A and B are shown apart, each in its own frame.
Chain A
Amino acid sequence: MGPGSRRMLRGLVPVAVLAAAWEAAPRAGLVDPAFLPPAGAVLGAWGDLAWSGELPRQVLVTARAWAQGFVLAAVLGIAGGLVMAFLPTARAMFSLVVELLRPMPSVAIIPIAILVLGLGDAMKVAVIAYAALWPILLNSLYGVDGVERRLHDVARTFHLGRWRTAWRILLPAASPLIATGLRVSSGIALILAVTAELVAGQSGLGSFILQAQLAIRVAEMYAGILTVAVLGFGLNLLLGAVEGRMLAWHRGATAKETA
């Protein structure tokens, strides 16, 4: 057994303990099974819902909204951050707007989005994109800001010019920070996707959870919540894998420095 799989097994120990406690507590009458059914019952409901195709359908709806909103935020955030980093005029114009909008809890714009875009997918995507925009935009901006002065010197010495300097030096040098922004935003995007569905969704995991709760199908509600957790975990793994491939140089470079 390698050290990697051993570490994973160790990580599973608390999960197993929690699951056992979850199974035991309702059975022993420590908590009311009406509020927290035993783990086995929830897993059973989960299996039925997965088998019937109900949960996969809801996952697809939520994941699609997540992906659309996240991609939109990534494109706008990176572009916006770079424009602000490269053009002092743009920075002077927009930095106050960014500083005013950014600290506002993004869920607060859901009512506005419903008012303007209705209850459909467009509203969901807009809310997700809005919330996910800020970490990406700011990390892109600060990423370019933080590029070593030495690399600017190198670009000037070799006469790369504005565009080549931007594309071949500043953007790659800033990419680790941009990737951090993307990772943070992917989590935010999922939170907003489920929240928007809880508040106003006609389908998706958030709406499924709410419907199950209203219908007092408590085990199904927990099954929905578990699914959100697993979806978030999976999306994080996916992004991590993409980042690992694209920024292999960065992991190598920083690992060497700390070695």
Chain B
Amino acid sequence: MLEVRGLRKVFDQGGTQTVAVGNISFSLGEEEFLAIVGPSGCGKTTLLRCVAGLSQPTGGQVVLGGRPVVEPPPEMVLVFQDYTRSLCPWRKVLGNVLLALEHGVLTRAQQRRRAMDALRLVALEGFENHYPWQLSGGMQQRLQIARALAYRARIMLMDEPFGSLDALTRAELEDQFLAIWGAATGSILFVTHDIEEAVYLADRVLILGPRPSEVVAELAIALPRPRHQLHTRADPRFVEYRNAIFTRIWAKDTASAPAAAGRGA
């Protein structure tokens, strides 16, 4: 349903050209959880901004439902890594979720009901009247996820959403989010620099090389769901996937892919 074709993004800063995204093509299927991993600075965020319609690619295009994306489409919602800067500090928790619903289609009662439903999903019920800055980092990120859920887009784009959380909170949020995703319908495009997180969460992992980034390999993750922080991570296949991706990212010669990193493992 979502297709990225030959996407390229070049930044021109005072005559110096920086190729942030070299040439990236992939597609995202219905109900699919696709993770994109790559070393930091490989243009993952830039790629996601282009997919979201917040930034225009220099070359190639993003196609959603047969139409090129030039503006943020209503079928997509974006969750940012930096929750403190993405939430409105002057709005309380409920108000921050309502922000996603104020585009003018719903009645007030509908907005409120949907916002409360979303807060219940991320277990923030009872915190409606707190300000975001009164919450912990993990709770703030859950609030941002609740806001995105309330919007009810078919595709959720996530830019390292758990990247600035501590390990325990991160594991908790990963599982909470997988449960929510499993119960709902929709696709996820999840960008991360954490290889294990990508393997743990996704159906399929795209591996990007260093800048100017290209897709160097693609890996289907055939681990059973629901996944489990202990069992899944101890599964020999999990370790195999992880090692394959790790090797692939750091392979000097990007032309010869190890067999394990090939399609459809």
Contacts and interface: CB of A to CB of B under 8 A. Distances in A.
A160 to B, nearest CB: 6
A254 to B, nearest CB: 9
Given A157-B72, A161-B103, A175 B90 contact: yes
B7 to A, nearest CB: 19
Contacts of A159: 72, 74, 103
Given A150-B86, A159-B72, A252 B80 contact: no
Interface string A134-173: 0000000000000010110110111111001000110011
Given A150-B85, A250-B89, A158 B151 contact: yes
Contacts of A164: 102-104
Contacts of B102: 158, 160, 164, 168
A90 to B, nearest CB: 25
B99 A168 contact: yes
Nearest to A155: B99
A172 B90 contact: yes
A250 B90 CA distance: 7
A90 B104 CA distance: 29
A157 B54 contact: yes
Contacts of B99: 154, 158, 160, 168
B131 A157 contact: no
A252 B133 contact: yes
A256 interface: yes
Interface residues of A, number: 23
Interface in B110-147: 131, 133-134
A156 B54 contact: yes
Contacts of B90: 172-173, 175, 249-250
B189 to A, nearest CB: 14
A154 to B, nearest CB: 6
B89 A253 contact: yes
B72 A156 contact: yes
Contacts of B80: 150, 153-154
B237 to A, nearest CB: 36
B246 to A, nearest CB: 31
B85 to A, nearest CB: 4
Contacts of A157: 52, 54, 72, 76-78
Interface in A201-259: 249-250, 252-253, 256-257
A161 to B, nearest CB: 7
B200 to A, nearest CB: 26
A153 B82 contact: no
A167 to B, nearest CB: 10
A249 B85 contact: no
B223 interface: no
A169 to B, nearest CB: 7
B88 interface: yes
A156 B56 CA distance: 14
Nearest to B92: A249
Contacts of A252: 131, 133-134
A150 B82 contact: yes
25 contacts: A150-B86, A153-B54, A156-B54, A156-B71, A157-B52, A157-B78, A158-B100, A159-B72, A159-B74, A159-B103, A160-B102, A160-B103, A161-B104, A164-B102, A164-B104, A168-B99, A168-B102, A173-B90, A249-B89, A249-B90, A249-B131, A250-B89, A252-B133, A256-B134, A257-B133
